[in-house]
Structure 1
Amino acid sequence: MSSSNHLNLYSGPNAIQQYFDPEIHPPLPLVEIPQTLNPFYEDGVRIFAKMMSMHPANNVKIMPAMNMLEKNVKPGETGTVVEYSSGSTVISLALASRVYHGIRDVRAFLSNKTTSPKLKLMQFFGLDITLFGGPSQPEPLDGRGGIHRARVLGQENEKFLNPNQYENDGNWQSHVRWTGPQIHKQLPGINLLCAGMGTSGTMTGLGQYFKGAKPSVTRLGVCTAAGDRVPGPRSFALLAPVEFPWRDSVDAIEEVGSEDSFSLSLRMCREGLICGPSSGFNLQGLLNYLGKRKADGTLSELAGPNGILNCVFICCDLPYQYIDEYFDKVRSDEFHTIKNHSLAAVDLYRYDEAWELEPTEAIARFAENDPTKPSAVLVDLRKPDDFIASNVPGSYNLPLQSMNASTPSPFFEADVLERQWKEIDSMLSANTISAYDLACKNVGVICYKGDTARVATSILRAKGITASSIKGGFGALTEQLPDLQMNGRALFQQWSGITDAKNLDLKSELMSSNMGPRHEVLVNAP
């Protein structure tokens, strides 16, 4: 088979159909794995990953999905597709149904033991989901399971199509049609082929293809170890009722557990081959088999005339939907600890540069007496003694226990941010907002150096209050406006537009409240 689109360009009304078509786009990559993943390299073994995950649908199941729909959709009659699937098959059916047949109603029947990320992934792709109890991998003919229920629905309603990947020969024949010829063309010297066995479609199709095209190829199937579970493949016992000719498609079978599958997949990803656990599963099965053949002295019998043993295994899908499971299955020392992890539970609200004002801009904004705009309120977070000694006229003092003049920026010290955020978030409750009459006000927040006020602004904004912080804090305010320290009366006159000296009388009385005082003394009042 040959690609008719060497530039990998797709355009026009059928661009997406062409983008999905294995006959048009270049062959999916076949990549030799690095020696770090190949313990048999010095024995003349070369191992190649067939990256089925690089198809636009990102998983190996797109080939069966396309082939089964092509053979079974009745134009103008089929309106709904329903399938029991753990994820990849039914997602691929949804994509292929829309792209090629205009069918948008695709329903997923699946186990109630399906992980939350996979359920959300199927919701993301627009699937209508129904969960079923019982075994996560029911036998196809078990009347209590979802496979049988999907089959019955397809039989009872002519508008419903149940492709039934477990019984539909279009499943495995897709790999005779596309995947096998691609691999053979890319690596004519192939000696050993390895694939996992779930529905057994991939292994059956590839096994049948090479049985005819190159019978010397050793065909290795991989099953899940008894009592264990890897997403996709099945145990050998669960293959018994599968009617595909899988027994005639394999020369040997290996069993692999979930820990090895996830661990090897993780290693592959870190070496640059991004793939999911079933890909690690396939490679581990291959390595197990090669190890046994080396141990009994028959490894060289698998090689070609040049003494090189070319092996291909299938990379089935991507790892992202299984991330939580990696942390359950793989040793914890494989993952770096997260520094400042405590911050994951605090500082939860958004920031915006527009909410951080330069000192001069802040003075102008909070000195406005425009009756058409919300009144301005300035909240000062500094200690009471510092506030009394020097403050902006008319501001409220709402002191923080977790901050003083020497406290580092919360953005430089994680423990400071954690303490301050928790205190501010608790302090700026509905009661505080009401007591200080902050609702529907233009609220300014000031602290010593500006960063704590920035945190408080984020919290206020999250609570629906229009708030801004003053960049650089009180220190920047006094540095950029020296008159604030030198002549508080003159600055206040200029700032507020008040010229009547009697209105500049100092007020020493603090307004008491259960949240803290409001103090209206002038800056550096004598």
Structure 2
Amino acid sequence: MSNFNELNVYSGPDSLKKYFDPDSQPPLPLVELPEYLNPYYQDGVRIYAKMMTMHPTNNVKAMPAMNMLQSSVVPGKTKTIVEYSSGSTVISMSMIARAMHGVQDTRAYLSNKTSEAKLRLMQFFGLNISLFGGPSQPEPYDERGGIQSARRIATESDEVLNPNQYENNNNWQSHIRWTGPQIFKQLPEINVLCAGMGTSGTMTGLGTYFKQAKPSVVRLGVCTAPGDRVPGPRSFALMKPVEFPWKEAVDTIEEVNSYDSFSLSLDLCREGIVCGPSSGFNLAGLFQMLEKRKKAGTFPELAGPDGSIHCVFLCCDLPYQYIGEYFQRLESEKFHPIQNEKLTRVDLYRYDESWERSPVVLFTHFYESPKSRSQDILSMLVLRPQCFVVDLRTATDFNSWHLPGSVNIPLQSLDSHTPNPFSDPSVLEAEWLELEALLKEQSVLDKLRDQHVLVICYNGDTARIATSVLRAQNIQADSLRGGHRALKDQGLWGDGGAESVGEKSYARSAVSVTPIPLQTN
């Protein structure tokens, strides 16, 4: 454990190799919990989180993956790595295989009960995934399970490597090589060490290391409570087939439920120690042991020469792939409600500033340029070919004044007094639902297809929503920024109505000024 890179800089042709190599990094952080996260602080207990999440792979399995691949990959021969893993081990292997050994093909065998979030995460990191039915933690030699399948495929080709974390001693020995020495160097006064029991590699390695380095350290292994499930650890009953020498590496076992695991993880995350449920699981096990010791009056047996009890628990991975489970397992009161949550079901399409056009667009895109700029300009406007103007205002307001050739589609959710939809969520919901239903009708889409559509409303924002809906249907649509009000500001319409700009003849002699359904020819 050289740790000579105090400035934490990695450069040169081997920069990634050095970045992943624990011997080229400063020790991973060891962070003491503040008093408000430590209920035993006044009893002289100091609790530290070992942030295994701060390795480049963001999880505790980085060290085993590094050690197993370093001892097994044959340069120039190994082309494929296959491993049965619930996530962290095989993800770490895939990254380390690429960075350290140039092996691009890593295949994950795992349970069909794996969450969609984990499956997507593995796909994200370029893993080739095969699912297996049956128990999520199968017996190593069960011919029906994925562990045996991974072992078998590796025997069929010299180019395929199955590190097999369940039987490979380089798994747990990685913590003798790196994690244990780091912790002891950072906190030589350590009195209690706590880690979860899954493959048991972490606890086996750390427990074996401290048995030699500092035999007085109490080694606490944590298992999942019977009938419960926490991602990663196993129940004590499932530890029976594990072949690592874990029994000699632990002094005591605690069983922890999933609720406490997720709840403590949430508390840690919100205070800045970002970690997943197995980290809260480890801390819960430590709390349980400390509470039993306190009630039994045996705290002094744990204390060091300074009178304090220095405890270390491992933070194993990050919470993000488990976010859905936090909401499933914990009370809703632990999370602030989402204000205006109904908006998650409406206004679903994108907006673009380029679709929101100024009134100038009337004379550059939609209407032929008038030959003169007389006061009677509106009566001379003629829509360009393939252009279509939709007016969403009420029929009454449309009949009072509208652009030549425009079509009225009045909305029940809109009139001149309707609040701005982006300031009133209930208005946005109502308008979007109505526009979504109306503008998705096939007869409407057929009418607007291959047209350049301009949408107008009172102040521009309802038209903006309509444009978003139309664009989602691949209709070329724009909205008029500022709407009818902007046209008034441009002098195209005044307080006296059409007559104020000389449009008396148009407004009163138009063939039809009633709402025109889009399907009408």
Structure 1-normalised TM-score? 0.92
Equivalent residue number for residue 523 of structure 1 = none
Equivalent residue number for residue 29 of structure 1 = 29
Counting only pairs closer than 5 Å after superposition, residues 322-401 of structure 1 correspond to structure 2 as 322-368=322-368, 375-401=386-412
How far did 1:491 drift? 6.0
The superposition leaves residues 345-374 of structure 1 with CA deviations (integer Å, 9 ceiling, x where unpaired) of 111100011111223344543224699x86
Equivalent residue number for residue 414 of structure 1 = 425
SS in 2 for 1:248: helix
SS in 2 for 1:255: strand
The superposition leaves residues 213-242 of structure 1 with CA deviations (integer Å, 9 ceiling, x where unpaired) of 111111110011111111111111111111
- Asked whether the equivalents of residues 399 and 514 of structure 2 are also in contact (C-alpha less than 8 Å), the reply is no
- Asked whether the equivalents of residues 408 and 516 of structure 2 are also in contact (C-alpha less than 8 Å), the reply is no
How far did 1:73 drift? 0.9
How far did 1:9 drift? 1.1
Cα distance in 2 for partners of 1:101, 1:24 equals 17
- Asked whether the equivalents of residues 398 and 516 of structure 1 are also in contact (C-alpha less than 8 Å), the reply is no
Cα distance in 1 for partners of 2:259, 2:385 equals 61
How far did 1:468 drift? 1.1
2:476 to 443, 447, 466: 466
Cα distance in 1 for partners of 2:483, 2:508 equals 26
How far did 1:7 drift? 1.4
How far did 1:84 drift? 0.6
Amino acid at match of 1:421: W
Cα distance in 1 for partners of 2:486, 2:101 equals 65
Cα distance in 2 for partners of 1:492, 1:104 equals 74
Cα distance in 1 for partners of 2:502, 2:312 equals 80
Equivalent residue number for residue 12 of structure 1 = 12
The superposition leaves residues 293-332 of structure 1 with CA deviations (integer Å, 9 ceiling, x where unpaired) of 0010001210101101110000000000000111111111
Equivalent residue number for residue 140 of structure 1 = 140
**How well do the aligned residues superpose, as a CA RMSD in angstroms?**
2.3
Cα distance in 2 for partners of 1:209, 1:9 equals 29
Equivalent residue number for residue 71 of structure 1 = 71
Amino acid at match of 2:301: E
Cα distance in 2 for partners of 1:513, 1:479 equals 27
2:519 equivalent to 1:506: no
How far did 1:485 drift? 5.8
Equivalent residue number for residue 53 of structure 2 = 53
Equivalent residue number for residue 498 of structure 1 = none
How far did 1:471 drift? 1.6
Cα distance in 1 for partners of 2:507, 2:146 equals 81
Q: CA distance change for structure 1 residues 490 and 411 in 2, over 3 Å: closer, same or farther?
A: closer
Equivalent residue number for residue 475 of structure 1 = 485
The superposition leaves residues 236-295 of structure 1 with CA deviations (integer Å, 9 ceiling, x where unpaired) of 111111111111101111000111101110011011100000000000000000000001
Equivalent residue number for residue 307 of structure 1 = 307
How far did 1:482 drift? 5.2
The superposition leaves residues 464-495 of structure 1 with CA deviations (integer Å, 9 ceiling, x where unpaired) of 111111122112211232556668589689xx
Structure 2-normalised TM-score? 0.93
Residue segments in structure 1 that go unaligned for 5+ positions in a row: 494-500, 519-526
SS in 2 for 1:247: helix
Counting only pairs closer than 5 Å after superposition, residues 136-285 of structure 1 correspond to structure 2 as 136-285=136-285
Q: CA distance change for structure 1 residues 302 and 34 in 2, over 3 Å: closer, same or farther?
A: same
Amino acid at match of 1:104: Q
Cα distance in 2 for partners of 1:76, 1:96 equals 16
Equivalent residue number for residue 450 of structure 1 = 460
2:448 equivalent to 1:438: yes
The count of corresponding residues between Structure 1 and Structure 2 is 510
Cα distance in 1 for partners of 2:221, 2:14 equals 37
- Asked whether the equivalents of residues 374 and 442 of structure 1 are also in contact (C-alpha less than 8 Å), the reply is no
- Asked whether the equivalents of residues 355 and 477 of structure 2 are also in contact (C-alpha less than 8 Å), the reply is yes
Amino acid at match of 1:415: S
Amino acid at match of 2:280: G
SS in 1 for 2:83: strand
Q: What percentage of aligned pairs have identical amino acids? A: 59
- Asked whether the equivalents of residues 53 and 275 of structure 2 are also in contact (C-alpha less than 8 Å), the reply is yes
Cα distance in 1 for partners of 2:502, 2:479 equals 20
